[in-house]
Structure 1
Amino acid sequence: MSEFTFDDVAVVMGTYNEEEAIGSVLADIERVSGGRAEVVCVDGSDDRTPDIARGMGARVIEQEPQGYGVAVREAVLTPDRPVVVTTDCDDTYPMERLPDFLDLINEGHDVVSGDRITPGAETMPRLNRLGNRAFAGLASLLLGRRLHDVTTGMRAYRRDLLHRIDWTENTGLSAELLMRPVARNYRVTEVPIDYDERAGETKLDPFRGGAAIAKSILRIGIEERFGTSLDSVTTTDTVERT
């Protein structure tokens, strides 16, 4: 079987008002892939983000803003190419690592996940860094496997895996995209990556967003490990206490 090349790669992202960063991200993908990788942006912006993306050759799918997971789910399921790489559009992830991710897919991995936390992630706000370590610890406990960074936005997937699993989360989709493959014994590896300071303003409230991510991790872990849903556990517990 021949190895995948950048002609087989789609780099996808959800975009929302990232006109300050999107040009740099797309230029990096173009440079690193030699212009061979397809780029797909699922966009809900009201600024110039989609115009910049189209002008730089990206395929733009416009969508009413419905949250992170809705956009990224559409993005990962859209390409026909056999390798799908996710990234964020805020210029925080190292596109120069794309060849390394592709090499690991060619070695037989189903998911290659960029680990920002192990190298330190000094550019990440301290509250976010602590939260991401807590998310990884919770996911590790639930799944029985040590995970280092379950909320990273940079991963490579074999496309067929993405279409075999039903993705259910919104704010917590990044965790789900790692946890369900791990729980179902796909070949998953984490690789340390650098993480840069973001360009533009963050859209996620750290407290409300963090609570939503933690609830997603609990739901996914319980479903995958014990074959039941968090909602049914909560309902049963409530009935027993009534």
Structure 2
Amino acid sequence: MSQQRHRTAPAEYTFDDLAVVMGTYNEADAIGTVLSDIESVTDGKADVVCVDGSSDRTPEIARDHGATVIEQEPQGYGVAVREAVLTPDRPVVVTTDCDDTYPMERLPEFLDEINDGADVVSGDRLYHGAEEMPAMNRLGNELFALAGSVLMGKRAHDMTTGMRAYRREIVQKIRWTENTGLSAELLMRPLMRGYDVREIPIEYDERKGETKLDPFSGGAEIAGSIVRVAVEERLR
């Protein structure tokens, strides 16, 4: 992914400038581990925001770990994550999932890429094979990446990863429209607008708790989002 936009050298951001955000829905089995990992890696300096629609102890556990919890009626992945991304006032925002699948120990590397000039840093789960991912999900993600790359005319290796770092100024400039397909949209719009978008390989672990996404209906929604966003961006 090539850099097309140029600007003055960015500030040197630290964990004091970082917010880690996520949508949470009945993830009591994993949320404590995820938040403990974030606290450990960032020395407790990162701001953590959870947009929550749970009926279990997830919000209570999150607050016990010092996270800001925004309670919201369940309206889907994108609604929660969009709120989470736009809420913090820190200049660097990292999205993650709350099911303990993503490596929080890689947060320093994501921040390093932002300090090197990246606008978006996207964790590529498929690079190492994502063997812990269900085979149907892995195939679907490979097809999403292939289709998205063809439609955009730009190569992307993992369209729907949940772990990304963004400059806050970028996410505020773009109008986000998708729900289930928001993860693909969050990559596609910056990439097609010429921002410096970089993918880095990350490890992916088996999730804790039950998945909330139906692979067939969810997959169809994501595919529709990829087509819709690509067409909209080409017509801009």
TM-score by length of 1: 0.93
Q: Is there any run of 5+ residues in structure 2 with no aligned partner, and where?
A: 1-9
SS in 1 for 2:100: coil
Q: Work out whether residues 94 and 164 of structure 2, in 8 Å CA contact, stay in contact via their aligned partners in 1.
A: yes
Partner of 2:22: 13
Partner of 1:194: 203
Cα deviation for residue 226 of structure 1 reads: 3.4
Distance 1:170 1:2, change over 3 A: closer
Q: Work out whether residues 142 and 225 of structure 1, in 8 Å CA contact, stay in contact via their aligned partners in 2.
A: no
Q: 1:138 aligns with which of 122, 143, 147?
A: 147
- 1:110 maps to a residue whose letter is D
* 4+ runs deviating over 2 angstroms: none
Q: Is there any run of 5+ residues in structure 1 with no aligned partner, and where?
A: 228-242
- 1:220 maps to a residue whose letter is V
Q: Tell me how far apart the structure 2 counterparts of residues 165 and 130 of structure 1 sit (CA, whole Å).
A: 29
Q: 1:28 aligns with which of 27, 34, 37?
A: 37
Q: Work out whether residues 11 and 115 of structure 2, in 8 Å CA contact, stay in contact via their aligned partners in 1.
A: no
Aligned length: 227
Distance 1:2 1:175, change over 3 A: closer
Partner of 1:172: 181
SS in 2 for 1:156: strand
Q: Tell me how far apart the structure 2 counterparts of residues 45 and 179 of structure 1 sit (CA, whole Å).
A: 29
SS in 1 for 2:233: helix
Cα deviation for residue 146 of structure 1 reads: 1.0
Q: 1:128 aligns with which of 137, 143, 152?
A: 137
Q: Tell me how far apart the structure 1 counterparts of residues 150 and 230 of structure 2 sit (CA, whole Å).
A: 9
Q: 2:157 aligns with which of 148, 164, 176?
A: 148
Q: Tell me how far apart the structure 1 counterparts of residues 147 and 136 of structure 2 sit (CA, whole Å).
A: 17
Identity over aligned residues, as a percent? 73
Larger relative contact order (C-alpha < 8 A, sep ≥ 6)?
2
Q: Tell me how far apart the structure 1 counterparts of residues 82 and 223 of structure 2 sit (CA, whole Å).
A: 19
Distance 1:181 1:2, change over 3 A: closer
Partner of 2:78: 69
Q: Tell me how far apart the structure 2 counterparts of residues 53 and 149 of structure 1 sit (CA, whole Å).
A: 28
Cα deviation for residue 225 of structure 1 reads: 1.8
Q: Tell me how far apart the structure 2 counterparts of residues 141 and 2 of structure 1 sit (CA, whole Å).
A: 34
